[in-house]
A and B are shown apart, each in its own frame.
Chain A
Amino acid sequence: MSVQSNKSSSPAFYALMVCLIVMAMGPIMLMLATSFKTNVDVNDVAVGSFFFTPTIRNYEAVLCNVLWYAPASVDYCDPTFGRALGNSIFIALVSTAITLVVGCMAAYALVRFRFMGRGPISMTTLLMRMVPPAVLLVPVFGIWTFQYGLDGTYTGIILVYVAMNLPFVIWILQSFIVQVPIQLEEAAKMDGANPFQVFFLVVLPIIKPGLAAAAIFTFRIAWNEFLLSNALSGRSTRTVPVTIVNSITEYDIDWGVIMATGMLLAIPPVIFTFVASKQIITGMTAGAVKG
């Protein structure tokens, strides 16, 4: 220990760390800078990447229909993005809430009860974790359109996101529930609490960090997902990733506006990262690193 801490004051390690931080942040910073540039500045090679006169007109153009004022810089207001932003927020929040409630109940049952079918259920859940969205594309399109009649609805997209995230949420919450001291639950049972009261009043408050990690991961997937949303959403239920892809198929890209859109899509995950990096790391390492 002491040997290591003496060596570590070497400036070379700090140089390496700064280098890594610049590399990780660089592309994001470049996107941020570009989102404040006019189209002229983006295309002018003489203008440096980080030295220019910033403007918020790209953000005004993107958010024109949800702003409280009519921006002077926007001649024609395209409401696509403003609406998509609302859709994304609604879909991500609702699917996260449902996934968490359903997922933690299932995880509790798998950890605390011995019953018939427990093995197969937990095994299937584990396998389902690996199913990529691309594999679900064809069947979900077919079933949602022809059988459930849910294409183009919020319910349809939320249903997919809940199902897609459940395996992971169940899996990660199991590792938190195992650590809850069983004596607490037994004491509550002695006092006459039924299983549901034990679960909601005793277990849930203890596994709050696990719930936070699970919530962030679920929100992130629902917020970032493109493929299934693209296949299922209609004109009025489209999410932000879909509108971004739709707007870059054209040859001539308005980089300033698209980077502003990208920044808006990146903001929630960035905030989560800075607020709850500990929970996120727990979530990432759970399962791979024991203890």
Chain B
Amino acid sequence: MTTASKLNRLTPYLFLAPAVLLLAVALLYPIGYMIYASFLDWRPSQYIGEAEFVGFRNYINLWNDEAFRESFGVTLKFAAVVVSLEMLLGVGLALLLDRKLRGMAALRTIFILPMMIAPIVVGLMWRYMYHPTVGIFNRTLKSWGLDPIPWLSDGTWSFVAVVIADVWQWTPFIFILSLAALQSLPQSALEAAELDGATGWQKIWHIKLPLMMPVLIVALLLRLIDAFKVLEVVLVMTNGGPGLSTEILSLRIFRTAQEFQELGVAAAMSNYLLILLMILTVIMFVYNKAVENRAARLRAEAQEA
């Protein structure tokens, strides 16, 4: 009896132990280690114990470093631009195509492809298409008698090029989420609006969009978090250049560690990025909880009535 109840109390821990152990060894500990490393002047040739402790110097130097600030700005601009474009296009297309169309399943399947393929390969494909002479864009322009565009060799164009690649890859994500949200809307609300003689636009503005809002906000936050993580596509397409025009933060972390061998500085950058992502995550978490609580309250009120 006592052994059985002891076993019962231990059961959840037995189920959890492998996961907790793995997460502690390979995720939590590294994050702690990173925070510690960000206070060091550390190079890959040294043991971490030999590195000099420099306090907040890495953070302060970064803050005063114009190149880092520019890279931070590029990251924010990139995230803001791609996420707004993807939300507009994704939600717009979902509203437009939310009807009984044959072949919708095929479209959704094909739309997943860009997200499933390795970012490295996505970068490769776009780099080929943007190629100054053999790329499909400049070839087409030439055949129309237009001047070629310096896609990846001009600061502004290379930013545009990277944005287009990301929009190609991730608009389907917003589209699929929005479509799922639209199809789970309560039919009764839409039918009531139709009886009241609401036009298509009125239905979208006053019923569909407000009811989709919880899903849209979560989709927005998820995309925002992912946009700050982008690395490989840009690495392959432009390697951050020309100049710093596409040097997003994660790429700068990679180059600071790999090329400049300044692990302490790279750790401090990682910490800036992590803080940013944690803020977004907490916002999402709090928002989700609020929506759940509201839904639960509404259900409870409906039951009482």
Interface residues of B in 143-202 (CB under 8 A from A): 168, 172-173, 176-177, 180-181, 184, 187, 194
Binds B, one of A59-67, A74-82, A205-213, A283-291: A283-291
B20 close to chain A: CB less than 8 A = yes
Q: A1 vs B112: C-alpha distance in the bound complex, in angstroms?
A: 27
Beta-carbon contact of A135 and B99 below 8 Å: no
Q: Check A30/B118 contact, CB under 8 A, given A8-B99, A135-B274.
A: no
Q: Check A288/B218 contact, CB under 8 A, given A27-B168, A132-B229.
A: yes
A23-60 contact mask (Cβ, 8 Å, vs B): 1 or 0: 11101101100100000001101000100000000000
B76-100 contact mask (Cβ, 8 Å, vs A): 1 or 0: 0000000000000000010011011
Beta-carbon contact of A241 and B232 below 8 Å: yes
Q: How many residues of A contact B (CB 8 A)?
A: 97
Q: A108 vs B42: C-alpha distance in the bound complex, in angstroms?
A: 42
Beta-carbon contact of B134 and A195 below 8 Å: no
Which of A103, A132, A248 meets B228, CB within 8 Å? A132
Which of B30, B219, B228, B277 meets A143, CB within 8 Å? B30
Q: A118 vs B180: C-alpha distance in the bound complex, in angstroms?
A: 31
B215-241 contact mask (Cβ, 8 Å, vs A): 1 or 0: 100110010010011011001100000
Beta-carbon contact of B107 and A21 below 8 Å: yes
Beta-carbon contact of A17 and B101 below 8 Å: yes
A215 close to chain B: CB less than 8 A = no
Q: Check A4/B99 contact, CB under 8 A, given A138-B34, A245-B120.
A: yes
Beta-carbon contact of B99 and A134 below 8 Å: no
Interface residues of B in 29-54 (CB under 8 A from A): 29-31, 33-34, 37, 42, 44, 47-48
Interface of chain B, helix or strand or loop or mixed? helix
Q: Check A288/B177 contact, CB under 8 A, given A134-B254, A163-B27, A269-B117.
A: yes
Q: Check A138/B278 contact, CB under 8 A, given A17-B103, A245-B235, A288-B218.
A: no
Which of B9, B124, B180, B270 meets A135, CB within 8 Å? B270
Chain B residues near A134 (CB-CB < 8 A): 229, 231, 249-250, 253-254, 270, 273
A184 close to chain B: CB less than 8 A = no
Which of A25, A163, A170, A244 meets B113, CB within 8 Å? A25
B305 close to chain A: CB less than 8 A = no
B106-117 contact mask (Cβ, 8 Å, vs A): 1 or 0: 111111111111
Beta-carbon contact of A220 and B125 below 8 Å: no
Beta-carbon contact of B31 and A28 below 8 Å: no
Which of A25, A135, A160, A227 meets B232, CB within 8 Å? A227
A126 close to chain B: CB less than 8 A = yes
B164 to chain A, nearest CB (A): 11
Q: Check A142/B184 contact, CB under 8 A, given A14-B101, A280-B112, A288-B215.
A: no
B125-154 contact mask (Cβ, 8 Å, vs A): 1 or 0: 111110101101001001000000000000
A110 close to chain B: CB less than 8 A = yes
Q: A291 vs B295: C-alpha distance in the bound complex, in angstroms?
A: 13
Chain B residues near A130 (CB-CB < 8 A): 225, 277-278, 280-281
Beta-carbon contact of B121 and A226 below 8 Å: no
Beta-carbon contact of B229 and A262 below 8 Å: no
Most chain B CB within 10 A, of A132, A255, A262, is at: A132
B1 close to chain A: CB less than 8 A = no
Q: A15 vs B283: C-alpha distance in the bound complex, in angstroms?
A: 40
Q: Check A139/B176 contact, CB under 8 A, given A226-B119, A265-B120.
A: no
Which of B106, B177, B266 meets A21, CB within 8 Å? B106
B305 to chain A, nearest CB (A): 22
Q: A129 vs B139: C-alpha distance in the bound complex, in angstroms?
A: 42
B16 close to chain A: CB less than 8 A = yes
Q: A162 vs B20: C-alpha distance in the bound complex, in angstroms?
A: 12
Interface residues of A in 198-229 (CB under 8 A from B): 199, 220, 223-224, 226-227
**Residues on A facing B (Cβ under 8 Å):** 1, 3-5, 7-8, 13-14, 16-17, 20-21, 23-25, 27-28, 30-31, 34, 42-43, 45, 49, 101-103, 105-106, 108-110, 113, 115, 118, 121, 124-143, 146, 159-160, 162-164, 166-167, 170, 195, 199, 220, 223-224, 226-227, 231, 241, 244-245, 248, 255, 258-259, 262, 265-266, 269-270, 272-274, 277, 280-281, 284-285, 287-289, 291
Given A226-B232, A266-B117: 20 more A-B contacts, CB < 8 Å = A8-B100, A25-B113, A103-B19, A105-B16, A110-B16, A113-B12, A128-B27, A131-B274, A134-B229, A138-B34, A138-B37, A159-B26, A163-B23, A224-B118, A226-B120, A245-B235, A248-B127, A272-B116, A273-B113, A277-B108
Task: Give 3 closest A-B pairs by Cβ, nearest first.
Answer: A163-B26, A106-B19, A134-B250
